[in-house]
């Protein structure tokens, strides 16, 4: 019955720093179906990268700690696995691509040897077999002359080529889930499009599910079926990409969409969301977004809304859609 | 690429030669500035003025300085430093004997300091902020303040005189190497531990370490293969300076443990004003250091592909 | 706070190029505040001041003169009369350690001052003029740096002869290369700054630029290097004296004491131990203070 590859339930990840507890991820739930792409969007500091690292259990401990929740992969809770079992998952069933391909690649090893590492760990391949895999993967991700490039060092490749190599590293063990953490942010616009296309193509070819983490709504629109909008450690809105983007429910989603430059819309001025993302160690009371919200109501200042199913058929965390207090809001709006 | 590499090597070789010529010049100037007539010293006040003058003539000491220096330079590069005034042996033979001894101590010191220092540094970085880290840092801070000659005496006292488990002089058995190696190696082990820790912490915070973890690599592989290989680059450059300091510092433990190495040879030479020995020792040691740095520079290029690229272009 | 700002303004007005980024007062106030919060650094500083006072007032503090011989108590163990015992001539060990502090601290200060003078001048010249000047000075630095420091100091002692004054020079000549390297690198970096351009544009001579802009900007680096090199200098002095090439008896120095004490290790181990402890504590205090100063003033020297 459950066709979900990944079910994240009520995940909480906190960082215990000298300045206090930072609630980086607070009760986040989402799921990814087989072959589906879920986009997680949010401004920097919204906790979206921590979500990715928490799924991989790569949050640096200390100061970080996954406090509660479940990460179910094919029904198995990854948070309950031993260190050794988890290592078998990382790079095997779940692989990850990072934002900055220059620093994410080890400067003192060749591209080839860095691709070969996963197949040697997870598939027990010999050096020679792994090298063949590396060359195949380089070809697959569209790097010309893979037999030669396999012996290149990261600094000898361009940014786009490096990210392609990174993708080759991630996909060389046929992972069921690929987590991309801002994979195109550090790249030129033209290269960005190529990389996204490559990820999309490979996803279809290998029937991989993708978790696409980005601040760029355009990227989400281009590659994902579903989208999760995060704000200050919590999910604000969660649903199908088309629905959310054409008819956003949450005022924050709306504001985000309006702040996006869109060529065809002909809007003259970009909308700017007033204020700043709240500090995650000192969050406002009530709705986390209320200090910046244009449709703020009295209740928003004191009571934190729950994630509820809005009439539009998707999950929203906003008092506007709660039946009871909604009247309160209507009164205020007069 | 090979041509560029060759050019790089030749360039470094040329620099090394320039430095070596400079070294001979420094030594030559210092020896000539030093008070006292070498011939009078050599004859141990037994010769009359006429004899001294005759020997001066024979030794070329009456030639103009630049002629003397030229001879000296030529002899130095061919490894001929003349005969010791007192031991009546070619300095070259004394140097060879001394270097064999000092070299063996240096190997002991190097092994001790690298093994202990790097291991402790890695452990401290891996357990950063915890009690293991604090203990290692405390010990290394103390270690950096311990003068080798004093530590040597304390070690003699504890392990030789009180516990009676290790010999306190000479180099007759393997056990005899332990105390000199620890005494001289402590300060270098301590500084290596700190250097390794700093560089390992830096490396462990890099994105590529996270990438390695995301591939499912084990913690040992992450620390050793991914982080340490990067942290090793600055450590390697430090090893050149380390070898130089060990060659120098050896004189102190040689004195304490009554070992006749290069350092003792130099100090005895100085006490007796045995000029050929002084010249031979200083130039020989400096040459070893310059050549070692040359080797390290070349190895450095092999380990770090970025450096190689920078030097090639 | 208001005061410092006014002072800053004054300083900046005095300098022809007003872009000078050295905010003397606030920068150093900040550093001092950070240092005072550092407990270890404070303890070390207090200890160093204590040692300096001991050295300065050695005749008042030491129970006996450094060369006074108590014939009735030769090689005695610690007694109420001689807290740390006596040496082979019946001289009070504690008193000799107190007097030894004079040599150690004097060497630390004077030798480092010599090293810094040579190092700053040559390093600044190399960095500022670049090109051939730089190449020549850099090679010279390499030549001098090719000798192990302690052996080089030994050879210089051979040339000049033993004695405290010569120890100053020997150690100073040994230490200048590391100073020169750091200053050269920093000057190369600094001279690209706008305020140097501005000073040049307003007609400042090269010497004025180096002396008024570059060297003051290297000041915190110089302070850090000095604090970090002083303990090394103290160690070199002890080593030279230990080898019999430094300070000569009857003047006392910790290294010289350890050298003599070594012969009496069986009969009087304390004689070897106590001067060493004084040496270790002094070096330790300078090392720790140097680390703290570096962190407060110039964190980029971390790998020095």
pLDDT tens-digit series, residues A55-104: 889 888 778 888 888 888 888 888 888 888 888 888 888 999 888 878 88
Do residues C173 and C155 touch, judged by C-beta distance below 8 A? Answer: no
Count of CB atoms situated within 10 Å of the CB of A306: 12
The alpha carbon of residue A24 is apart from the nearest alpha carbon of chain B, in Å, by 19
Question: How many CB contacts within 8 angstroms connect chain B with chain C?
Answer: 138
| A175 → chain B, closest CA residue | B215
Closest to B277 in 3D by CA, of B85, B65, B21, B42: B85
**Chain A interface with B: residues with Cβ < 8 Å:** 56, 58, 62, 83, 87-92, 95-96, 98, 100, 103-109, 114, 117-118, 121-122, 153, 155-156, 166, 169
Which of A90, A107, A153 shows the shortest C-beta gap to B215? Answer: A90
Beta-carbon count within 10 A of A73 CB: 20
> What is residue C21's predicted lDDT score, i.e. its pLDDT?
46
Quick one: how far is CA A248 from the chain centroid? 19
Tell me which chain B residues have a C-beta less than 8 angstroms from the C-beta of A87: 216-218
C147 min Cα distance to partner chain B (Å): 5
Check C302 against B18: CB less than 8 A apart. no
Q: Residue B74 domain-assigned? A: no
In the predicted model, what is the mean pLDDT of chain A?
Answer: 82
Segment C106-130, tens digit of pLDDT: 999 999 999 999 999 999 999 888 8
E strands present in chain A = 4-17, 20-33, 37-41, 64-73, 76-77, 94-97, 177-181, 209-214, 226-231, 234-240, 308-309, 315-316
Cβ distance A89 to B216 less than 8 Å, yes or no, reads: yes
B208 touching chain A per CB within 8 A: yes
Q: Is the pLDDT reported for residue A259 higher than 80?
A: no
Asked if chain A contacts chain C via 3 or more Cβ pairs within 8 Å, the reply is no
CA gap A316, A310 in Å, rounded:
6
Residue B236 lies in a domain: yes
Residue B290 lies in a domain: no
Residue with tokens 């942290």: B231
Instruction: Determine the Cα–Cα distance for residues A1 and A14; give it in Å rounded to an integer.
Output: 33
Alpha-carbon distance A57 to nearest alpha carbon in chain B (angstroms): 9
Distance CA A97, CA A104 (A): 9
Residue B15 has a pLDDT of 83
Report the SS3 class of residue B218. coil
The burial class, CB within 10 Å (0-12 / 13-18 / 19+), for A243 is middle
Handedness of CA A173, A178, A180, A184 (dihedral sign): positive
CB proximity list for B72: less than 8 A, separation 6 or greater: B24, B28, B279
Average pLDDT over residues A21-47: 86
So what's the pLDDT on residue B307?
Answer: 59
Q: Return d(Cα B17, Cα B12) in angstroms, integer.
A: 9
Question: pLDDT of C13-22, one tens digit each?
Answer: 333 333 444 4
Distance CA C14, CA B239 (A): 47
Contacts with C241 from chain B: Cβ below 8 Å: none
Q: How far apart (Å, rounded) are the C-alpha atoms in residues B11 and B16? A: 9
Residue A275 buriedness (CB in 10 A; 0-12 / 13-18 / 19+) = exposed
> Considering its fold, how many domains does chain B have in total?
1
8 Å CB contact between A30 and A206: no
Residue B305 contacts A where some CB pair is shorter than 8 Å: yes
Q: Could you give phi then psi for residue C202, rounded to 5 degrees?
A: -85, 15
B window 211-270, beta carbon within 8 A of A? 211-219, 226, 229-230, 233
Chains that contact B by 3+ CB pairs under 8 Å?
A: A, C
Tokens of A119: 């197949």
Chain C contact for B61, CB < 8 A? no
Mean pLDDT of all residues in A131-153: 89
**pLDDT digit string (tens) for A111-140?**
999 999 888 888 888 889 999 999 988 988
Map residue A157 onto helix, strand or coil: coil
CATH of the domain at B260: 1.10.3720.10
Q: Do B214 and A96 touch (CB under 8 A)?
A: yes
Residue with token string 């001689």: C82
Find the helix or strand (DSSP H, E) in which A119 lies: helix A111-122
Q: Which chains touch A (3 or more CB pairs under 8 A)?
A: B
Q: Which residue of A has its CA nearest to B203?
A: A106
Q: In percent, how much of chain A has pLDDT > 90?
A: 2
- Cα A183–A184–A189 angle (5° rounding)? 170
Q: What is the pLDDT of residue C52?
A: 92
* CB C275, CB C261: distance < 8 Å: yes
- What is the residue-level pLDDT of chain B in tens, covering all 313 positions? 456 667 777 888 888 888 889 888 888 888 888 777 667 666 666 667 777 777 777 777 777 888 888 888 888 888 888 888 887 888 888 999 999 999 999 999 999 999 999 999 999 999 988 899 999 999 999 999 999 999 999 999 999 889 988 888 888 888 889 999 999 999 999 999 999 999 999 999 888 998 999 888 888 888 988 999 888 888 887 887 888 889 889 999 999 999 999 989 998 888 888 888 988 898 888 888 888 888 877 777 666 666 555 544 3
- Per DSSP, helices labelled H in A96-188 are 101-104, 111-122, 127-140, 146-149, 159-171
Residue-level pLDDT at A1 = 43
Q: How far apart are CA A23 and CA A280, in angstroms?
A: 5
- pLDDT grade for A270, boundaries at 50, 70 and 90: low
Q: What is the pLDDT of residue A302?
A: 79
Mean pLDDT of C145-174: 88
Residue B216 has its nearest CB partner, among A98, A122, A153, at A122
Residue with tokens 């807290």: C83
pLDDT at B45: 62
Asked if residue C196 has pLDDT above 80, the reply is no
State how far the Cα of C167 lies from the Cα of C245, in Å rounded to an integer.
9
Residue B179 lies in a domain: yes
Q: Which fold has domain C27-301?
A: MetI-like fold (1.10.3720)
Enclosing domain of residue B224: 92-272
Residue in A65, A25, A80, A3 with CA at minimum distance from that of residue A228: A25
Residue in the block written with tokens 């010191």: B109
Query: Cα-atom radius of gyration of chain C, to the nearest Å?
Result: 23
Which among C111, C105, C95 has a CA at the least distance from the CA of C275?
Answer: C95
Q: Dihedrals φ, ψ of B232, to 5°? A: -65, -25
Place of tokens 């690209």: C192
Residue A296 confidence (pLDDT) above 60: yes
Q: Can you give the pLDDT at residue B236?
A: 82
Distance CA C172, CA C116 (A): 8
Nearest to A306 by CA among A240, A253, A238: A238
- Spell out which residues of chain B touch residue C243, defining contact as CB-CB under 8 Å: 251-252, 255, 267
Which of the two residues, A7 and B35, has the higher pLDDT score? A7
> Per-residue pLDDT for C64 more than 60?
yes
Q: Which residues contact B60 (CB under 8 A, 6 or more apart)?
A: B67, B68, B71
User: Mean of the pLDDT values across residues C199-211?
Assistant: 77
Q: Would you state the pLDDT for residue B171?
A: 81
Q: Looking at CA atoms only, how far is residue A124 from chain B in angstroms? A: 13
Edge-to-edge strands, sheet with A226-231: A94-97, A177-181, A209-214, A37-41, A226-231, A234-240, A315-316, A308-309
Q: How confident is the model at residue C143 (pLDDT cuts 50, 70, 90)?
A: confident
Confidence (pLDDT) at C303: 46
Phi-psi category of residue C23: left, alpha or beta, with phi > 0 → left and psi -120 to 50 → alpha: beta
Structure tokens at B223: 């620390």
pLDDT band at A271 (very low <50, low <70, confident <90, very high): low
Fold of A35-58+74-213: Rossmann fold (3.40.50)
- Cα distance from B290 to chain C (closest Cα, Å)? 6
Q: Which residues of B touch A96 (CB under 8 A)?
A: 211, 214
User: Within an 8 Å CB–CB cutoff, is residue C288 touching chain B?
Assistant: yes
Tokens of C175: 């230490």
pLDDT for C15:
37
Asked if residue A210 lies in contact with residue A203, where contact means CB atoms within 8 angstroms, the answer is yes
Residues paired with residue B24 on neighbouring β-strands, in sequence order: none
Residue A81, judged by CB atoms within 10 A of its CB (0-12, 13-18, 19+), counts as middle
Are B290 and B12 spatial neighbours (Cβ–Cβ below 8 Å)? no
Reference C107, options C256, C262, C219, C224; nearest CA is C256
Asked whether A137 and A172 are in contact (CB, 8 A), the reply is yes
What is the rounded CA–CA span in Å between residue C167 and residue C111?
Answer: 8
Tell me the three state secondary structure of residue A266: coil
**Residue B16 exposure: Cα atoms within 13 Å on the Cβ side:** 20
| Mean pLDDT, residues A1-20 | 81
- For testing the chain A interface, which of B205, B208, B312 should be mutated: the one with the most A CBs within 10 Å? B208
- Bridge pairing between strands A37-41 and A209-214: parallel
The token duo for B265 is 């040879």
CB contact under 8 A, B309 and A156: yes
Residue C217 burial (C-beta neighbours within 10 Å; 0-12, 13-18, 19+): buried
Q: Tell whether B160 is covered by a domain.
A: yes
C204 touches C214 (CB < 8 A): no
DSSP for B139-163 reads HHHHHTT--HHHHHHHHIIIIIIIS
How are strands ordered across the β-sheet holding A20-33? A20-33, A4-17, A64-73, A76-77
ipTM of the complex: 0.84
Assigned domain for B230 exists: yes
Asked if the structure places residue B43 within a domain, the reply is no
Give C 19-48 residues with CB within 8 A of chain B. none
Residues of chain A with CATH 3.40.50.300: 35-58+74-213
């Amino acid at each position: 019955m459950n066709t979900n590859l990944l079910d994240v339930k009520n995940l909480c990840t906190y960082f215990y720093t000298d300045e206090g507890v930072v609630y980086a991820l607070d009760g986040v739930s989402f799921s990814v179906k087989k072959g589906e792409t879920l986009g997680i969007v949010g401004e920097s500091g919204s906790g979206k990268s921590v979500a990715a690292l928490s799924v991989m259990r790569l949050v640096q401990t200390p100061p970080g700690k996954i406090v509660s929740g479940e990460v179910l992969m094919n029904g198995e809770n990854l948070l309950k696995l031993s260190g050794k079992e988890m290592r078998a998952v990382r790079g095997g069933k779940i692989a990850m691509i990072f934002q900055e391909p220059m620093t994410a690649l080890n400067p003192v090893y060749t591209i080839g040897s860095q691709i070969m590492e996963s197949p040697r760990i997870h598939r027990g391949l010999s050096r020679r077999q792994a090298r063949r895999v590396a060359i195949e993967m380089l070809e697959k991700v569209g790097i010309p002359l893979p037999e030669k490039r396999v012996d290149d060092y990261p600094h000898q490749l361009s940014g786009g080529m490096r990210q392609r190599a990174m993708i080759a590293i991630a996909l060389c063990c046929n992972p069921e889930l690929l987590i991309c953490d801002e994979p195109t942010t550090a790249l030129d616009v033209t290269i960005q499009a190529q990389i996204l296309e490559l990820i999309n193509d490979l996803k279809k070819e290998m029937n991989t599910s993708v978790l696409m983490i980005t601040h760029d709504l355009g990227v989400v629109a281009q590659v994902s079926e579903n989208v999760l909008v995060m704000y200050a450690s919590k999910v604000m809105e969660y649903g199908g990409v088309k629905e959310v983007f054409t008819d956003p429910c949450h005022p924050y989603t709306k504001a985000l969409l309006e702040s996006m430059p869109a060529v065809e819309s002909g809007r003259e001025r970009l909308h700017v969301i007033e204020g700043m993302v709240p500090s995650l160690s000192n969050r406002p009371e009530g709705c986390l977004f209320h200090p910046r919200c244009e449709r703020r109501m009295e209740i928003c200042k004191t009571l934190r809304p729950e994630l509820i199913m809005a009439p539009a058929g998707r999950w929203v965390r906003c008092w506007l859609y709660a039946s009871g207090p909604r009247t309160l809001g209507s009164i205020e709006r007069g | 690429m090979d041509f560029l590499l060759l050019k790089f090597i030749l360039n470094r070789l040329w620099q090394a030669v320039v430095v070596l010529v400079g070294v001979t010049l420094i030594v030559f100037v210092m020896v000539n500035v030093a008070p006292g007539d070498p011939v009078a010293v050599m004859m141990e006040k037994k010769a009359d003025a006429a004899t001294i003058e005759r020997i001066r003539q024979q030794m070329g000491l009456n030639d103009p300085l630049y002629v003397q220096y030229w001879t000296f330079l030529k002899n130095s590069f061919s490894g001929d430093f003349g005969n010791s005034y007192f031991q009546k042996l070619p300095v070259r033979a004394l140097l060879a004997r001394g270097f064999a001894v000092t070299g063996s101590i240096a190997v002991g010191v190097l092994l001790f300091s690298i093994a202990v220092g790097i291991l402790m540094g890695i452990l401290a970085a891996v357990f950063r902020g915890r009690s293991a880290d604090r203990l290692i840092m405390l010990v290394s801070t103390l270690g950096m303040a311990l003068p080798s000659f004093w530590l040597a005496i304390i070690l003699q006292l504890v392990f030789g005189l009180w516990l009676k488990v290790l010999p306190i002089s000479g180099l007759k058995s393997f056990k005899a190497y332990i105390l000199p190696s620890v005494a001289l190696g402590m300060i270098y082990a301590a500084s290596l531990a700190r250097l390794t820790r700093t560089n390992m912490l830096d490396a462990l915070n890099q994105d590529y370490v996270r990438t390695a973890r995301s591939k499912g690599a084990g913690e040992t592989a992450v620390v050793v293969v991914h982080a340490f290989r990067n942290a090793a680059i600055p450590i390697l450059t430090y090893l050149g300076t380390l070898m130089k300091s060990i060659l120098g510092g050896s004189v102190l433990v040689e004195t304490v443990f009554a070992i006749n190495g290069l350092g003792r040879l130099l100090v005895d030479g100085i006490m007796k004003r045995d000029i050929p020995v002084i010249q031979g020792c200083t130039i020989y040691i400096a040459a070893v250091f310059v050549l070692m740095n040359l080797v390290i520079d070349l190895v450095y290029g092999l380990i770090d592909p970025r450096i190689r690229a920078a030097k090639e272009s | 706070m208001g005061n410092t700002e006014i002072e800053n303004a004054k300083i900046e007005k005095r300098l022809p190029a007003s872009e000078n980024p050295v905010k003397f007062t606030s920068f150093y106030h900040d550093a001092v505040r950070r240092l005072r919060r550092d407990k270890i650094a404070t303890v070390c500083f207090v200890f160093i001041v204590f040692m300096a006072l001991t050295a300065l007032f050695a005749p008042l503090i030491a129970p006996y003169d450094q060369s006074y011989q108590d014939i009735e108590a030769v090689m005695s163990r610690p007694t109420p009369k001689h807290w740390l015992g006596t040496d082979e001539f019946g001289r009070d060990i504690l008193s000799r350690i107190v007097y030894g502090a004079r040599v150690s601290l004097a060497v630390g200060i004077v030798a480092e001052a010599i090293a810094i003078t040579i190092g700053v001048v040559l390093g600044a010249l190399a960095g500022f003029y670049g090109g051939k000047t730089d190449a020549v000075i850099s090679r010279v630095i390499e030549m001098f740096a090719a000798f192990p420091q302690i052996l080089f100091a030994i050879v210089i002692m051979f040339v000049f002869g033993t004695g405290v004054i010569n120890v100053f020079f020997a150690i100073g000549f040994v230490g200048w290369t590391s100073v020169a390297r750091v200053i050269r690198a920093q000057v190369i970096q600094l001279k690209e700054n706008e305020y140097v351009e501005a000073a040049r544009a307003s007609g400042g001579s090269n010497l004025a630029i180096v002396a008024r802009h570059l060297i003051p900007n290297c000041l915190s680096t110089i302070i850090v290097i000095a604090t970090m090199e002083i303990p090394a200098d103290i160690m070199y002095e002890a080593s030279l004296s230990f080898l019999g090439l430094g300070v000569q008896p009857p003047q006392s120095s910790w290294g010289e004491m350890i050298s003599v004490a070594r012969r009496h290790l069986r009969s009087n181990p304390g004689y070897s131990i106590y001067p060493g402890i004084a040496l270790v504590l002094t070096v330790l205090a300078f090392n720790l203070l140097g680390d703290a100063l570096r962190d407060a003033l110039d964190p980029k020297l971390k790998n020095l």
